[in-house]
């Protein structure tokens, strides 16, 4: 099973096969509108603007599993992101990334990557919160929080994972290298 074997649900409820993105570099992100990392939408849009013409697609999946930081309907979330950050990359229907109802795509991404560790000052705050939810969080690939990013190469292979605390300059550099 590979990345192109999955389909995801668009905001309008239609199914979108990821095979539609064959040959593109993908940055797949679980997001939230009320999170301390929500300003990363601005950085993501800048990366998209810079590299879209070279074959980058950013796939945005809102998720309300982490302290209910993505309330609202798919359309309300989209309007917020479009109005506040001017996002133009594809935004899909809200999903779960953990547990029994986890999206098969995110289950696959989690099972095929390792937790990279938190960095920077926000690591001091985020670590204890995540540990309260998953005592063994350092030893599994589960998504830990909003704005975890998975970089997919043009052939559909997972080539990188970035935790929410990763420097966005590092994400940008990895995207550019993948292109």
Tell me whether residue 62 is exposed, middle or buried, using C-beta atoms within 10 angstroms of its C-beta: 0 to 12, 13 to 18, 19 or more.
Answer: buried
Q: Are 63 and 26 in contact (CB under 8 A)?
A: no
Q: Is 35 a catalytic residue?
A: yes
Helix axes 168-178 and 40-51, enclosed angle (nearest 10): 20
CA distance 16 to 19: 8
Residue 125 forms beta bridges with which residues?
A: none
Which member of 8, 26, 29, 35 is catalytic?
35
The 10 Å Cβ neighbour count of residue 124 is 10
Which H/E stretch holds residue 109? helix 104-111
Residues with catalytic roles: 35
């Amino acid at each position: 099973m590979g990345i192109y074997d999955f389909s995801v649900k668009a905001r309008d409820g239609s199914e979108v096969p990821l095979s539609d993105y064959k040959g593109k570099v993908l940055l797949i992100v679980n997001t939230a509108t009320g999170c301390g990392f929500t300003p990363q939408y601005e950085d993501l849009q800048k990366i998209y603007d810079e590299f879209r013409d070279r074959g980058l697609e950013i796939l945005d999946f809102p998720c309300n599993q982490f302290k209910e930081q993505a309330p609202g309907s798919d359309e309300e979330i989209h309007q917020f992101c479009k109005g506040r950050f001017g996002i133009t990359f594809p935004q899909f229907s809200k999903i779960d990334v953990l547990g029994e109802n986890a999206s098969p795509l995110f289950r696959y991404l989690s099972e095929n990557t390792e937790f990279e560790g938190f960095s920077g000052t926000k690591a001091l705050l985020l670590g204890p919160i995540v540990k309260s939810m998953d005592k063994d969080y350092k030893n599994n690939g589960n998504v830990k929080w909003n704005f975890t990013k998975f970089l997919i190469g043009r052939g559909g292979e997972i080539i990188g994972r970035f935790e929410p605390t990763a420097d966005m300059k590092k994400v940008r550099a990895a995207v550019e290298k993948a292109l």
